[in-house]
Chains A and B, each alone.
Chain A
């Protein structure tokens, strides 16, 4: 095994171009587990810790450019207003120690369906900025990023540099089921973002299909129901029948498996419950009743 320590982004890209099998390591929270447990013996480890740029973020007028290695703790603490869904998701990641090290680049690079950031990223409608020495920058819409179980749209010579997320234009929520009250991998998870500017709703589901997915039918249904009922303008409560239908459609978007963490049937069920609840919370918030969690 070789340990590569590029001092700059350009050096990192050059190394990845020359050694496409090199495994990038930033927070180490996935890669080191695989090494410690002898599941993986990469020929090269490509350390990204020395590239300061990856741990920085910029808040623009419309978007936030979030460096791939910005620790979840920083997202929770500093980007709650701009990226509420991702901040909530960040708070559910593993433990404080892991949140101090891990960032969205790791979740995206691994592309495990259980990654906590995915539902929030899907719901936000972000783009992933990847780059190769040969072809330069490429912006991958999040909807095109996840290709299969632990497979993503990265080319072997590419590295994830940042994520460009639209600043929230409405309430966002994130909810995750685990069988422990902290430090737990998702049995399943659900993210929702209301987009009042476009009068749309986006969602994301984690751990309930081979890849993170959106509940597109549910989104379309809800957007139509909100539009037809004039809810965006009236701010009236969403009828239980609409919430119920939204939840059912969210459940229907799942394609889960049975595993040690939970049954497929439970995952479908729980995604429906989370969809209904998070819709309720975001809508209440949209209506101006601040009822979000104290430590959200």
Chain B
């Protein structure tokens, strides 16, 4: 990008060649990140750039009677004001799976905070003041906020005239997608049950709350195209949605990933990408858009809030007989990832247990609530909250230990999922539970440890000084969960890696180029490790992710180490063969081993499997570079049958178990989580340090939604009531306990290096474990998360 002063750079990292897979190699971007030099999307800067601003609807559901932008346009310093009428082509909508989301509202707004107009100006304040002068007249419509209002006789359709691929099979146009799963005969099996428990569970709307708000820079190109520097989870998916709306061929929309300040699903959908591009193309100037925290709450989808009805039966010796459940997810005004969330919620609704007879239904609604879509755990989180509460209820009713009850019903390799799919790799559910139960418990009353009165920092309420031990009761709870890895249901899920090997400065080095979005998870670290392992080099350069290379798929579904890691491995293996071919051509006549032995690249040399050095890589590659770009796919999956839910739907499963120890101030209803112990099977830890970091981070997000995190939507107006970090609370370091992690490595033979996707599983079981511990401390039923002080005090 000519003229820009701040853009993403190569990450070059040297290192011993034993800093390959399995080592806790440090991040190649670590230094840039600790010095403040790492270029995040909000740091993009161009000399003559303008600032874009998005005017959003102040009501949730309304007809737009008129928009008057004349006064805004007349402001000095304003370069453009755009509305729906200014969109350049016939394509006005975008969307991940269903293109139902207007770039700018047309005739109607369907949720609070929907983008209506755009302003570009020479200063953010100029843009804000101009936007305030845009006059919009709304005629408010009744709001749809739950299942009853969505499916009522006279319900307004959130989207008229649907013709998407789900519209034909859903029972009502305000249902985005419905997935039943029927296997065996739940009614018959229920007759064998000695105990039956049921419950209605409510899961609140969680926000990803990544720390780096949506932002980026669009620079108009001389060819009429645009260069876009953004933070996203999937460059190529963005590209497919952006280019048609701009009326540009994909090659004229050149996307580069800039630094991403966390994602957790919240960057799966488009936010400011199209808006900045439209303004840049209209004004002919670079345009930067940066959301503040308030706007960020409206700028991305959230985790689906859910209502779940569960009925389980068990025999008196503790064997599960059947499951009936119904899961209603609120997808909000636009589809986003709702269909896939429905697929996950239904297919994983049984949890990691053996239940042969099931009757399951999951739906996602269209409503006027904020749009919901991807967030870490994706449908499996809500289900886990419900089935784990059920397990505790069953164990209690049977008088059994909750861990033993779970172990008795735990799935294992060979178990058939309710979808009919066999679990064909290790599923150490009982073992994970055994391990967390065996961990030593944290000492009691740690607030007295310092010896001079109570240390409030170790008590519920923390610094707020609410108790010195009064009313505090300890509780312990367990939970375990199952998450799918990778894109499911027949999706053509692939990734691409380009690897170049050449001699630079007398040394053989590798460059890895993928479009993988590094959102903090450490993919760039792992790619360099894989290249070292496969190519025997020390120095590896990670090229910035962009659309000049094939798609990497999304940084979601715990899939990137498997998929783009797999792609890097696959390309490296092919590069290695090419390198060996060159070696054979150049040096084959000097040593018979070139033709006969198994050859490896190690320590910058070609060696035989017996360890004999045949050549320096630098000599082999002298004057020749090897450069390959290849795609990598996981094994194919199938769609779930729309009536029975049967099908080989998932690629791989991932399991984690938690033990939560909490202390509850039972009088004030305040909770301090003392410890969250985790055991997780990761297949193969490519980078143990990163693995533990992912598990601890995922665990903490689960803790957040257990005790504090919820976007509160007014049921009368469908307006968001707490779009700020003052009132949407995420855990601080004083809310977060010690998180001991026990990592198992049981290889999955289908996956590269036997690895298992790890990012999401720890978010699942963390929440129900904390809830179980609070129930254990208080004796309350607690069917809703997050738990509020009101729930614990009956107020």
Contact = CB atoms under 8 A, between A and B. Distances in A.
A184 B464 contact: yes
B721 A260 contact: yes
A273 B452 CA distance: 24
B735 A294 contact: no
B670 interface: yes
Most A C-beta atoms less than 10 A away, residue of B667, B724, B731? B667
A296 B467 CA distance: 12
B454 interface: yes
Nearest to B466: A175
A291 B462 contact: no
Q: Ordered nearest first, which 3 A-B pairs have the shortest CB separation? A: A181-B462, A266-B795, A182-B734
A290 interface: yes
7 contacts: A177-B464, A177-B466, A179-B789, A180-B729, A269-B795, A277-B470, A290-B453
Contact of A184 (B453, B721, B729): B729
B712 A294 contact: no
A273 B468 contact: no
Label chain B's interface by main secondary structure: loop
Contacts of B457: 181, 295
Contacts of B727: 185, 260-261
A294 B670 contact: no
Contacts of B439: none
Chief secondary structure at chain A's binding surface? loop
Given A260-B722, A265-B790, A291 B468 contact: yes
Interface string B708-722: 100010000000011
A179 B708 contact: yes
A291 B790 CA distance: 29
A205 to B, nearest CB: 14
A268 B735 CA distance: 25
B463 interface: yes
Given A187-B789, A266-B669, A176 B455 contact: no
A274 B726 contact: no
A292 interface: yes
B292 interface: yes
Contact of B455 (A36, A182, A293): A293
Nearest to A270: B668
A177 B461 contact: yes
Interface string A258-296: 001111011011100110010011000000001111111
Given A173-B465, A261-B727, A274-B466, 18 more contacts: A36-B292, A92-B465, A180-B731, A180-B732, A181-B460, A181-B462, A182-B462, A183-B732, A260-B722, A263-B795, A269-B793, A269-B795, A273-B471, A277-B468, A277-B470, A292-B468, A294-B452, A296-B456
Interface residues of A, number: 42
B723 to A, nearest CB: 10
A183 B734 CA distance: 9
A16 to B, nearest CB: 25
B491 interface: no
B789 A177 contact: yes
A273 B463 contact: no
A204 to B, nearest CB: 14
Given A177-B668, A180-B731, A294-B452, A265 B462 contact: no
Interface of A: 36-38, 88, 91-92, 173-187, 260-263, 265-266, 268-270, 273-274, 277, 280-281, 290-296
B238 to A, nearest CB: 28
B793 A174 contact: no
B148 interface: no
A103 B247 CA distance: 55
A292 B712 contact: no
A293 B790 contact: no
B450 interface: yes
Contact of A38 (B128, B724, B729, B735): B128
Contacts of B464: 92, 175-178, 181, 184, 186
Contacts of A292: 453, 468
B732 A182 contact: yes
B790 A294 contact: no
Nearest to B792: A266
Count chain A CB atoms within 10 A of each CB in B466, B670, B726, B727 and give the residue with the most. Answer: B466
Nearest to B462: A181
Nearest to A36: B292
Contacts of B789: 177, 179, 187, 262, 266, 270
A182 B453 contact: no
B434 interface: no
A91 B466 contact: no
B70 to A, nearest CB: 22
Contacts of B722: 260
B292 A88 contact: no
A260 B708 CA distance: 12
Interface residues of B, number: 45
B790 A263 contact: yes
Contacts of B292: 36-37
Contacts of B461: 175, 177-178, 181
A185 B464 CA distance: 10
A181 B463 contact: yes
Given A261-B727, A262-B789, A262-B790, A296 B734 contact: no
Contact of B795 (A181, A265, A281): A265
A273 B471 CA distance: 10
B726 A185 contact: yes
A182 B465 CA distance: 10
Contacts of A180: 462, 708, 729, 731-732, 735
A181 B662 CA distance: 13
Contacts of B790: 262-263, 265-266
A179 B470 CA distance: 18
A198 to B, nearest CB: 25
B708 to A, nearest CB: 5
Given A175-B465, A269-B793, A270-B789, A181 B454 contact: no
Contact of B468 (A38, A184, A281): A281
Contacts of A291: 453-454, 468
Contact of A277 (B467, B721, B735): B467
B734 A88 contact: no
Contacts of B455: 293-295
A286 to B, nearest CB: 16
Contacts of B669: 266, 270
A273 B667 contact: yes
Most buried by B among A91, A268, A295: A295
Nearest to B670: A177
B466 A266 contact: no
Contact of A88 (B465, B470, B667, B732): B465
B128 A293 contact: no
Interface string B465-502: 11110110000000000000000000000000000000
Given A265-B795, A293-B456, A260 B712 contact: yes
A291 B726 CA distance: 32
Contacts of B726: 185
B584 to A, nearest CB: 63
Contacts of A270: 668-669, 789, 793
B672 interface: yes
Contacts of A274: 466, 668
A37 B466 contact: no
B27 interface: no
Contacts of A183: 732
B162 interface: no
A91 to B, nearest CB: 6
Given A266-B793, A273-B667, A291-B453, A179 B788 contact: yes
B466 to A, nearest CB: 5
A273 B453 contact: no
Contacts of B707: 179
A184 B730 CA distance: 10
A10 B462 CA distance: 42
Interface string B757-795: 000000000000000000000000000000011100101
Nearest to A94: B726
